[in-house]
Amino acid sequence: GNVPGGCELKEFPEGIIIPGLIDSHVHAGNTAIMLSGVSMIDVTSVGQALKCIEERCLNTEDDIVFAPFFIPQQVKEQRFPNRKELDSVSHGKKVIVICITLHSSSVNTAAIDFVGINDIREGMGIDEDGCFNGELLEDEINFYVMSNLVAGISDEKYEKYIDDFGNMCAKNGITSAHCLEGQFMAGDRDIPIWLNRIEKNELPFHCVLYPQVWDYQQALAYGLPRHGGCLTLDGADMDYTMALDEPYTCKPEVRGNLFRKDSEVYNLVSKAYADNKQTAFHAMGDRAIDQLLDAYRRVIAEQGQKNLRLRIEHFTMPRPSHLKLASELGVVVSQQPEFPYIYDTEDGYVEEWFGKERVKRIEQYKQNMDAGIMVAGGSDSPVNSINPLTGIHGVVNGRFDTRRMDVKGALKMYTYNAAYAAFEEQERGTIKEGFYADFTILGQDPYEIQDKINEIEVIGTISEGRVVYAK
């Protein structure tokens, strides 16, 4: 039959129709910005990184050069390019090399001068002479510098990045995305731009915007029924800043950082809860999860259970007691299965960080669901690829049985469960009369090639009855 817009379904190659895929955790603006940069994903030495950066600096009209997806553990020197090295290849451009996690980076002199930092602050690396070496190793200083560089992008160019992101969603079968905006552009100038595009219905996907703003009063002006997103309570595993009970196995002197006081987290949650707003925070390590769950527990005890589906983003290394409490509180967890599927291999990075026993606690999708916790699937793009099928593949083919689920369970993480995480399960995430006509059309049946789901092509995407992509 026909769908609105006049495109006949018979024009598609024969394929498998599933509910439209939903990304429950994506940094949308940053995804488009970073994917337009010079990728560091395959570099294995500082010299190789510098060569790629210099080539881009010589061949772009952009004043700022982003070099994302850097993996310090992958390069021979086990470090970022330093400030002097970046100065030698930047040819007057501002340059930032960004760890794949987004939680640390390295900049050249032009970049740090543009931001206006003239002194050494916490989290800034120093060389043997006591001078700034270009490294930004903790969230506060890293996000500050990164967001001020991103703020150098014009509104016109940022609008184009939104269009680029929309095209990525369409090509990857994504009909809804929970976009975590703010925090990565100084002044949160990006949020009003996103809200304007949503109001005008100019996006090829349904956008659920999460405002990543620590100032609650400021966020009230946006008029959204939710607050937060990936507001970081701790750092990330690869950056050695994930807040752990026990130290990193490979760095016994380090057990990560909590970036906020308990009282600060509690006060923000309490204000939002009183206004009947859902909240969402980044909590990876067990210490950070402990901090957030305690705030949620206290606020619910004081104000009563409102079933606001309070969210925890990542929930990477919970203790068994955390699973029980999260289930009792009705907490929703948003997780990103591609990352452990790629990096948690026998003797791989994750095992190096946490050891052979503790690694089994990482990203327990099945165990979380069995405990009664609703688990939504997401990408965390640009940290991981934006393709939901890679995450679904990671769940079905996970390393440990505490992670693995069957195809149906994995698909639900990216359809019904993700819709539930945004209070939309009565209108999205299921193929059902009266629901939005959101469909993803696959070239092959994931039930039939369970070990190759990540190789399945999206051949069509229909968002709210509109054919937004046809291969």
pLDDT tens for each residue of 170-188? 999 999 999 999 999 999 9
Give the pLDDT confidence score for residue 9 in this predicted structure: 52
Give the pLDDT confidence score for residue 2 in this predicted structure: 38
User: Among 349, 369, 371, which Cα is nearest to 359's?
Assistant: 349
Cβ contacts of 75 within 8 Å, gap of 6 or more: 43, 44, 45, 46, 48, 49
CB 38 within 8 A of CB 51: no
Give the pLDDT confidence score for residue 174 in this predicted structure: 98
Global pTM?
0.95
368: tokens are 């979380």
Maximum distance among all alpha carbons in the chain?
A: 72
Label residues 50-63 b or e (16+ Cβ within 10 Å = b): bebbbebbeeeeee
Cβ contacts of 320 within 8 Å, gap of 6 or more: none
Beta-strand ranges (E) seen in 369-450 are 374-377, 439-442
Residue 11 has pLDDT above 90, yes or no: no
Residue 119 has pLDDT above 70, yes or no: yes
DSSP 249: S
Q: What's the pLDDT tens digit per position in 129-160? A: 999 999 999 999 999 999 999 999 999 999 99
Beta-strand ranges (E) seen in 347-438 are 374-377
Residue 12 has pLDDT above 70, yes or no: no
Segment 41-52 mean pLDDT: 98
Beta-strand ranges (E) seen in 163-277 are 174-181, 206-211, 226-232
- Residue 87 to residue 95: CA distance in whole angstroms: 8
Residue 4 has pLDDT above 60, yes or no: no
Give the pLDDT confidence score for residue 14 in this predicted structure: 81
Segment 248-266 mean pLDDT: 97
Is residue 293 packed enough to be buried (19+ CB in 10 Å), middle (13-18) or exposed (0-12)?
buried
Residue 6 has pLDDT above 80, yes or no: no
Q: What's the pLDDT tens digit per position in 392-407? A: 999 999 999 999 999 9
332 — pLDDT class (breaks 50, 70, 90): very high
Mean pLDDT of the chain: 95
At 6, give phi and psi (nearest 5°): 85, 0
Low-confidence winner among 1-10, 90-99, 263-272 (lowest mean pLDDT): 1-10
Mind giving me the DSSP string for 331-370?
-EEEE-THHHHHH-STTSHHHHHHHHHHGGGS--HHHHHH
Residue 274 has pLDDT above 50, yes or no: yes
Residue 263 has pLDDT above 70, yes or no: yes
- For 355, half-sphere exposure in the C-beta direction (CA atoms, 13 angstrom radius) is 9
- Residue 383 to residue 167: CA distance in whole angstroms: 18
Instruction: Name the amino acid, one letter, at 342.
Output: I
Give the pLDDT confidence score for residue 5 in this predicted structure: 44
Cis peptide before 382 (omega within 30 of 0): yes
